[in-house]
């Protein structure tokens, strides 16, 4: 499959890139600093140097024939511009319409609640903590979800992890609207595995289930 990856130099994006290549996908990545990607990986993909906040650069990274977009851009509380993920997603959705790109698979966050969630004390704690200590990230992901909901006619789907951490790829995890708490976790590798599975699985189209062990 011909895919474009946003956020390839992050912990989750790095796992998405490696697993995509292992699965035989043809990968294009938009990178502000291509040198951050190890040379052996750069040589195996199409690298577009640019800024995902610029519509023209996103357009270069989504050529005709793109079959899917993987979104793994992270938010830094201190350095990321306001609504980074939301603004990049807006550019992507516009190109999806113009070029008939079939699918967007993205990564959100567990503090952004959905109607089908089990809003337990643990879920309320996760949201309270994010609103207080991760306001930048939480607000951006909230706005990103609002934007996606407003474009429900397009094929988008994704996951909402809680704590993401380094760890092995197990392929065994829960994906759905199960109860969760601040102790719920998932490895970057397994989160990437679930996202790649969504490239060909329509189960969660228009939804964003929690992913956790």
Q: Output the pTM of the full model.
A: 0.97
Distance CA 66, CA 150 (A): 23
State residue 21's pLDDT score.
98
Residue 135 burial class via C-beta count within 10 angstroms: exposed 0-12, middle 13-18, buried 19 and up: exposed
Q: Note the CATH architecture for domain 2-212.
A: 3-Layer(aba) Sandwich (3.40)
Kindly provide the residue ranges of all beta strands, DSSP E only, lying in 90-145, ordered along the sequence.
104-107
Distance CA 95, CA 63 (A): 9
Distance CA 198, CA 2 (A): 14
R_g (Cα) of the chain, nearest Å: 16
Q: Which residue in the block uniquely carries the two structure tokens 């704590």?
A: 163
State residue 161's pLDDT score.
98
pLDDT digits (tens, 9 = 90+) for 44-70: 999 999 999 999 999 999 998 999 999
Q: Domain map of the chain by residue range?
A: 2-212
What are the backbone angles phi and psi of residue 155, rounded to the nearest 5°?
-90, 100
pLDDT confidence band for 37 (50 / 70 / 90): very high
Percent of the chain, pLDDT > 70? 100
Q: Can you give the length of the chain in residues?
A: 213
């Amino acid at each position: 499959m011909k895919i474009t990856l946003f956020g390839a130099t992050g912990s989750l994006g790095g796992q998405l890139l490696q697993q995509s290549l292992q699965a035989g996908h043809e990968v294009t990545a938009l990178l502000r600093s291509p040198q951050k990607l190890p040379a052996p990986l750069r040589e195996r993909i199409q690298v577009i140097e640019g800024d995902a906040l610029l519509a023209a650069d996103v357009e270069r990274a989504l050529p005709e024939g793109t079959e899917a977009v993987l979104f793994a851009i992270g938010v830094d509380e201190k350095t990321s511009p306001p609504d980074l993920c939301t603004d990049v997603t807006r550019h992507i959705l516009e190109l999806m319409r113009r070029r008939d790109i079939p699918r967007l698979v993205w990564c959100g966050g567990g503090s952004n609640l959905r109607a089908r969630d089990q809003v337990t004390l643990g879920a309320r704690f996760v949201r309270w903590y994010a609103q207080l200590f991760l306001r930048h990230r939480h607000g951006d992901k909230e706005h990103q979800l609002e934007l996606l909901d407003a474009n429900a006619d397009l094929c988008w789907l994704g996951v909402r992890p809680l704590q993401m951490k380094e760890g092995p790829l197990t392929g065994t995890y829960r994906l759905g609207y199960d109860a969760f708490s601040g102790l719920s976790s998932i490895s970057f590798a397994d989160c990437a595995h679930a996202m790649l599975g969504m490239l060909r699985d329509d189960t969660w189209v228009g939804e964003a289930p929690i992913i956790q062990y």
